[in-house]
A and B are shown apart, each in its own frame.
Chain A
Amino acid sequence: MATDAAVPAVSMRGVTKRFPGVVANDKVDFEAAPGEVHALLGENGAGKSTLSNILTGLYQPDEGRIELYGEPVAFASPREAIDAGVGMVHQHFRLVSRFTVAENLVLGDRRGAGRYFHIDPSAIATQVRELGERYSLPVDPRARIWQLSVGEQQRVEILKALYQEARILILDEPTAVLTPDEADTLFVTVRQMAEEGRTVIFISHKLHEVMAVSDRVTVLRAGKALATVRTADATPESLTELMVGREIETATRQGRAQPEGVPVLEVEDLWADGDRGTVAVRGVTLTVHAGEIAAIAGVAGNGQRELAEAIAGLRPSTKGMVRVNGRPVHTGDAQAAFEAGIGYVPEDRLGTGLSPTLPIAMNLSLKSYRHESVGPFLRLHLMRHKAEDEIRIFEIKCAGPDQETDELSGGNLQKVVIAREFSAHPSVLIAASPTRGLDVAAVEQVHSYLMQAAEEGAAVLLISEDLDEILALNDRVLVMYEGTLTAVEDRESVSEIGLRMAGGTPG
């Protein structure tokens, strides 16, 4: 470890970046040494991504100085950052899915086999294969990106940075898309790269990862760098306090041994197509009882969204049956679904869940307006009264029922969706990634609403990629993998859930 090396690999001093209405980075000081794994810890919106985008030349800082290995730099474009040895693995991969691995690597290349005007695919493939072998990141250079698993795609992203001879490597929330096993493999790679003398900046909001992989941690909150501490001297509790600014009570659910309620939601051999016409849901059978939270785990893109949409009436099924309280519900008909008592908190809250330019009161009435009208006319005062009540009950922070919905923060947007779905007293509640992108306090509130719904007798189907959330809330865990659903026997076993997320079965 070389945390005390004389010349830091990265040194940022007083870096400030403003966006309209918000200071994303406020006089941030940040330093990382060669050979170090340095974690950037912070909640969503704390300014981690902005800071890394400045370091990779995507944004230019409004104030502040940046030095790499003691040399001052000012990147006007991503190209200049790449040439200076800064590589980044984005959270949402920046890969061309129809290209081969090799083609993705040589894109924009100025040093290797791709720098010539004429491109020779076989020469490039050879070079890429050698690189993969050297770093034990095996991947077929001729494979097309869309053929690869998410873990393999991430490997390509890392290889891409290594191919560009990156000495400073930024990983942005790298485990968000990985199964627990894949994440462990990644940590090994990260340590290897640090041992070679590279600097790894590891961005995360997950404490246990930061504790596991980093040498030092810098905590960001509301755009400010609060502290840099050695990981060995920190505890998860001390880091949480820095990150959130106060202690958080975490509510955990008292799991019940046996589902005792009556079956409310019954799904039988459900099949549905994805957006691109491929089969996304392959014969799912599922029963959720009254008062139960059934949690579906899985890596994104395994058909969870399509399953939720099929049950909620937003996507026609090609085969199979959905029943609520014993009565069949016609799939592909959203109105039939919510009249049958299905409430849906979608993953994409601003796109699918809400109409962003309507006032809050209108959004709250999107499902109930038929009962709040006289003939074709809406009873606006009634809608507003109802909205005022819900704003109070669900603690939605806003200027009032007439405020435009898209002016709210993520947590409050989610509360609007939840308030609307809850006020219909659904017998089935589907929540898809309900806490993605929310801060810790809002996460706890959303969790308590879900538990409350179950206590009031709803059948709750929670779909999430966040294992911590699944473990905290579930009565029963199911795992979705490539469109099929399997039950997990031991609902507290991370290793069994992880294994099933990767398509395996415990043997």
Chain B
Amino acid sequence: MNNSLLVVILASGVAYGTPLLYAALGELLAERSGVLNLGVEGMMLGGAVMGFWTVQRVHANTGVALTAAIVVAALMGAALASIHAFLVITLRASQIVSGLALTIFAGAVGLSSYLGNDLNLADSPAAHTFNAVFPKSMQNWPIVGPIIFGQNVLVYVSWLCVVLVSLYLSRTRPGLNVRAVGESPAAADTMGISVTRYRYAHTLVGGAFAGVAGATITLAITPQWVNGITGGAGWIAIALVIFAFWRPELCLVGAYFFGSLQALAPQLQARNIHLGPTVLWTNALPYVMTIVVLVIVSSGTAKSRLGAPEALGVAYVREER
């Protein structure tokens, strides 16, 4: 039963969906504060390369090495996000242009590629990887075994993150404040909430999430470093935030849906099932998503109909006379 196509696809859908989920949660936090960051792909690649570098260079036991790798990847993501934050919050540059520039700067033809090649990270498998945490016997349980108990620790932490982000936004004071900053910075400002501080904080945390998302790929899914390893996952993550109507719990559903799509093509191939150009469709997905994202974020009408934070993409200037 656990070898049936559906179970296998759902199980690998959860695994493949995890980087999407981390990246989407991070983007969601930034966007809820009003900052659109199209640099997710670049920040993921930054996290992917630095996380991988850490496990190759830190000589310690697996737990310490992997924890260090996740921390380094998060810091790398946050550092890259700080460029975007400075440009769009302090200098009030266009968020769309700055985000695209960040993806190009940090991406597959930029910083991440340079770092990976310069540090000689290609051609060797990861020294430590995230593996399934529950014993084999539990993983063999019918259906839930592979899907729920066959996953690595990053998957379980991502579930915790969904719950925490959701509670943070709906039930805490800083969460209320950040939603106000994203909806109406002028209202937040008059109530004594620092728009700048909230936007910086959430953009940086968003970047950290993207960094972790990148490291999830190089340390858990395909434990190696290849240039441009994310393959457009960052764009899918941004699209996910939109399709999830800026709600964390829907991000989880969406992430596993797109994850399953990614798992579909190889599984069908392995089983000699031919369903037309499935591979073509799944490979084209990131590019289609890029176009969808750019169209939606450029159209004010589309944004407001989908329920985007009202000040998304708009720099805040305290009303001058």
A interface residues with partner B (beta carbon < 8 Å): 19, 22, 24, 49-50, 56, 58, 77-80, 82, 88, 90, 94-99, 103-104, 106-109, 114-119, 275-277
Contact = CB atoms under 8 A, between A and B. Distances in A.
A95 B184 contact: yes
Q: 5 tightest A-B contacts by CB?
A: A79-B192, A108-B191, A94-B187, A96-B184, A107-B191
Contacts of A114: 173, 176
A58 B318 contact: yes
Contacts of A277: 301, 305
Interface in B289-307: 301, 304-305
A278 to B, nearest CB: 10
Contact of B172 (A56, A82, A119, A276): A119
B57 interface: no
B202 interface: no
Nearest to B304: A276
21 contacts: A22-B321, A50-B321, A56-B190, A58-B318, A78-B191, A78-B192, A79-B192, A80-B192, A90-B190, A94-B186, A96-B184, A96-B187, A97-B184, A99-B180, A104-B187, A107-B177, A107-B191, A108-B191, A114-B176, A115-B173, A119-B171
Which secondary structure dominates where chain A touches chain B? loop
B193 interface: yes
B180 A107 contact: yes
A275 B301 contact: yes
Given A58-B190, A107-B176, A119-B176, 12 more contacts: A58-B318, A77-B192, A80-B192, A94-B190, A94-B191, A95-B187, A96-B180, A97-B183, A99-B179, A116-B173, A118-B173, A119-B173
A98 B305 contact: no
Contact of B305 (A88, A119, A276): A276
Interface residues of B, number: 27
Contact of B187 (A82, A107, A115, A275): A107
Contacts of A99: 179-180, 183
B176 A97 contact: no
Interface in B193-211: 193
A97 B188 contact: no
A88 B310 CA distance: 23
Nearest to A98: B183
Contacts of A108: 177, 188, 191-193
A102 to B, nearest CB: 10
A103 to B, nearest CB: 6
B189 interface: yes
B118 interface: no
Contacts of A96: 179-180, 183-184, 187-188
B320 interface: yes
B189 to A, nearest CB: 6
A80 B191 CA distance: 10
A292 B170 CA distance: 56
Contacts of B174: 117
Contacts of B188: 96, 107-108
Interface string B85-103: 0000000000000000000
A464 to B, nearest CB: 24
B318 A117 contact: no
Contacts of B193: 107-108
Interface in B59-90: none
A268 B254 CA distance: 48
B172 A117 contact: yes
Contacts of A56: 190
Nearest to A20: B320
